Structure formats: C-alpha cells, structure tokens
Structure 1
Amino acid sequence: PCKMMAPIMEELEKEYHDSGKAAIYFIDVWKDKEQGRKFGIRAIPTQIFYDRDGNEVKRHEGFMSKGDIVAMLEKLGVK
C-alpha cells in the first residue's frame, strides 16, 4: 500500500502544496525513524490531517485513495 500511495502523494503535493492550498508532506519512516516516532506512526502508510490551527483531526492507517484524501481536504475547507 505504501508504494501505491507514493504517486498519489506526489500528485497531491503538486496540486495542493505547491499552490499554497494545503501542506502535503511525505515522510519515509524507514529513512527518518525519528519523524515516525514524533508523529506516532504505527502502520505504513498513515495519513494524518490537521486543521488550520495544527490540531490533528483525522488519522488513517492503510491505503487511502486520492479521491478520499481530496474529500477529507475539502471537508477541512481546502478548495
């Protein structure tokens, strides 16, 4: 599932992060174990959504389609 998520995350980063609509980050916890611990990653892949104030509002473990991620971003007010 993690390898299937990589191209989705790249697309979302181009569509949202690069345009300033949302911060999209990919953390390779195999290369950066400290970040994995910092964010409490227990399964790969994990998607964590934060509101504008930096509060975690949703955590999903496992594959998440681009459509589901976009729907969550829209629910959080990202257009």
Structure 2
Amino acid sequence: MRWAALLLVAVAIPAAGFWMFQAVQPAIEKASARFDGDAVQAVLRQGKPTVAEFGSDKCVGCREMKKILDGLSREHGASITVVSVDVLANRDYIRRYQIQAMPTQIFFDAEGREVSRHMGPMSREDILFKLGLNALPPETAARRS
C-alpha cells in the first residue's frame, strides 16, 4: 500500500508542475506558421518599441534570456513588444537578420527601425535601457545609488 501511495505522489507532483507551467506561459510572440512571411515585421507593425530575440530552446543562454523576456513582456506588455524567434526551426531568419550568435537581441524603435543589437545574454536593466524605458544606463544608475 505504501509503494502505491509513493508511486502516485511521484507521478502526480511532476504532472501537476507541468500543468501549472503550461498554464502560466507568457504572451511573448513566437515566430511560427500563424504569421504570413516575417514574424518580426508583423510584430513591428504594432508601433511599439520591440526586442526581437533570436535563439533556440537548445541554447542555455537563450533559455536564460527567455525568462527575463517573459517577465518584461508581462510587466511592460502595454508599452513594448517582445518577439522570440527559434532560429534552428526558422533558419531563414539567420540570413535575413544576420544572426551570428545565439542569443542575439535586436532592438527596434516604435517606427520599426533597428536601433541596437546585442549578442549573448543581457540583464533586464540593460534591455529596459535599450528600449528607452530606463533613463540611465544600469552602470550609471548603480553609481548614483
């Protein structure tokens, strides 16, 4: 009887965790078949500052960035747009946006012009600064406090 109860707990807890994880997925736009053509260009038409993250779920740094971008999307979704492109599943984006490393973040202003790009993981504060939501660069803000 005890083994049956342990087995039930061992199966039920991971299943509940998976269900909860799926229930709280953020509203980051993903490049997929639902877009006709270029998903990044479709998102840029919304007229908001945008960060486009080019990476893959197989990349450790990309998974770290996904957590940061998920939080930013939830907190600032009314004023910014976040789009995530899996470049291993959508290889044409590599050439189109000249992606040289994963993750790469490209920042666009509200008019859809590229204003900056960064290769590798970056902090939440740096992203907010590049999107124009922080008045000071993170290192300057840290020195003032």
TM-score normalised by structure 1 residue count: 0.79
Query: What is the aligned partner in structure 1 of residue 73 from structure 2?
Result: 13
Post-superposition offset of 1:54 = 1.2
Q: Which amino acid aligns with 1:71?
A: F
TM-score normalised by structure 2 residue count: 0.46
- Among 108, 114, 130, the residue aligned to 1:50: 108
Post-superposition offset of 1:75 = 5.7
Higher relative CO (Cα under 8 Å, sequence separation at least 6) belongs to 1
Q: Distance in 2 between matches of 1:38 and 1:52?
A: 20
Q: Deviations over 1:17-38 (max 9, x none)?
A: 3x2x111111111111122322
Preserved contact between residue 104 and residue 117 of structure 2 (Cα < 8 Å): yes
Q: Distance in 1 between matches of 2:127 and 2:89?
A: 24
- Runs (4+) of structure 1 exceeding 6 A deviation are none
Q: Give the aligned length.
A: 75
Q: Deviations over 1:45-76 (max 9, x none)?
A: 11111112211110111111111101222269
Query: What secondary structure, in the 3-state scheme, does the structure 2 residue paired with 1:27 have?
Result: strand
Query: What secondary structure, in the 3-state scheme, does the structure 2 residue paired with 1:25 have?
Result: strand
Query: What is the aligned partner in structure 2 of residue 2 from structure 1?
Result: 62
Mind listing any 5+ residue stretches in structure 1 that lack a counterpart?
none
> Comparing 32-41 with 22-31, which one deviates more in the overlay?
32-41
Q: Which amino acid aligns with 2:64?
A: M
Q: Which amino acid aligns with 2:82?
A: I
Preserved contact between residue 125 and residue 134 of structure 2 (Cα < 8 Å): no
Q: Which of the pair has more CA radius of gyration?
A: 2
How much is the aligned-residue C-alpha RMSD, in angstroms? 2.0
Q: Please list, as runs of the form range in 1=range in 2, the aligned pairs for 1:1-79 lying within 5 A after superposition.
A: 1-17=61-77, 19=78, 21-74=79-132
Query: What secondary structure, in the 3-state scheme, does the structure 1 residue paired with 2:85 have?
Result: coil
